Structure 1
């Protein structure tokens, strides 16, 4: 017998990273291991080697592919299922940058298909919290080209070409494939991206991995992927409002809204042919639907299947990101 779809939470998929810290385990009330630096939690993932597994309700223990194979358009939405089949199209992450991430770039769909038989990687960031003087890199500091880039790189002046932006809670950046970028130390970030794990490292501050080896760089691939005409910051201007969805970013891959909940908010998704993911970036929120309820704590995410059209959100004060296709 097929069990009824309900709002889905998933087991955390914690990723040890050389630049990570302990904020993610602390926020999730998971006991951290001494000396283990956690950089990421894949909160909702369809990556084949990192499939999300349901942690709540009647479907607990089912992984993402099993869910899609069983529920198809009822889970994803008709258009999404028609386009992606059993490939869940988004990767939902939380990132703790205790140290600077590498200077990097992601390929677009065409290059990723050619080189890796993968989707490309367009993404966006939302700053949940930041330490004093925290910053990130998004885009070039001026117009440049491949010849000038190589000159800066070889002469050890690459950072002069990088556009550095100080961060504050609520800042958001849209990072299309081809834009150079890096999350700086002291930032706690929510990331929404295409389902892809393809990253080209350009520069990694001469760091070595835990075995003492220089971390792999991908210079030639990065040169092919970079958009040298992109000198924009990527920072998104928006103004969050209480109890109202406010668009932060939208593209062919996803739409993300800010939704601050103070009291009760009723959402009607009957006109939306897509699943919805709620990311909690501050506070606590109760989510009620006709097919089950769930509590959403800070740094967690819940997937609301496309077949669920009416959702009630209740909180004294919560900051949510509302994500769909």
Structure 2
């Protein structure tokens, strides 16, 4: 019995080790969207923001460049500054000395503004638009540091509450100094960010995109914009479109031809009591077209034979211009006939 149990254990271990691993098929793997694209979780529509993303022109390109050679501009109006924004790409403008950012991060600024000669970033590059409910938004973070004196109303209330509390006794202060110094942490640097809400605009006369400044947080750390564009209307992705415009037109034309042919045959057979080839709709017209094409082919073929090289053989007698040449040839033939007649009589 013990030998059997050991044998069964070895067989079970061998079966488990020899069991093939289950691999997930490629069709069931989650698909990763290309940069600057997203699928709506509500409608399933495909949104591509690449058409409104401005790319810097290549120096080697000698072709005519896009007329829009700068990033999108949003006026602040009552706000003291204007904003420059790009979608899913860094701004086209060459930035230097951005406040609070390293030199390596200057090339990844996707939104900024200038104030008193200084450049402030309000968001670094992001290529992942997301949906907040039914709203398509694009979020830029990790901009320039927020001003230390700028604080929200919540922080101001908290500071006032701390000052209104009673101060601890001197002994408690002496005992707690060492603990506070050891447990005191460096303050976290808060950085500027940008939130762009994209809305659909189907006006054919409107520009590709129009950006409007909505507002900023009281501490000037968060900025809100609204962008209208046809790219935010959604549609079907290129991979999901199995047929292009030519394929759709071909299907429509084929359907129309089938309706014409089948409907005409049914009408000719049931109403006109036609049989054979005469069941085809407009049979006389199609028969005439066939004979017309045949005659045109014969005419073209005969006209082309004139350009073919001629073989050596009989040639026409050369004739001069006018009637004198014709009379001479006729006289020569008459003399030849008379000569043959005299020889025959002899």
Report TM bin, short chain: under 0.3
Q: Which has the higher strand share?
A: 1
What is the TM-score normalised by the length of structure 2?
A: 0.19
Indicate the structure whose relative CO is greater, using CA pairs within 8 Å and at least 6 residues apart. Answer: 1
Q: Which has the higher helix share?
A: 2
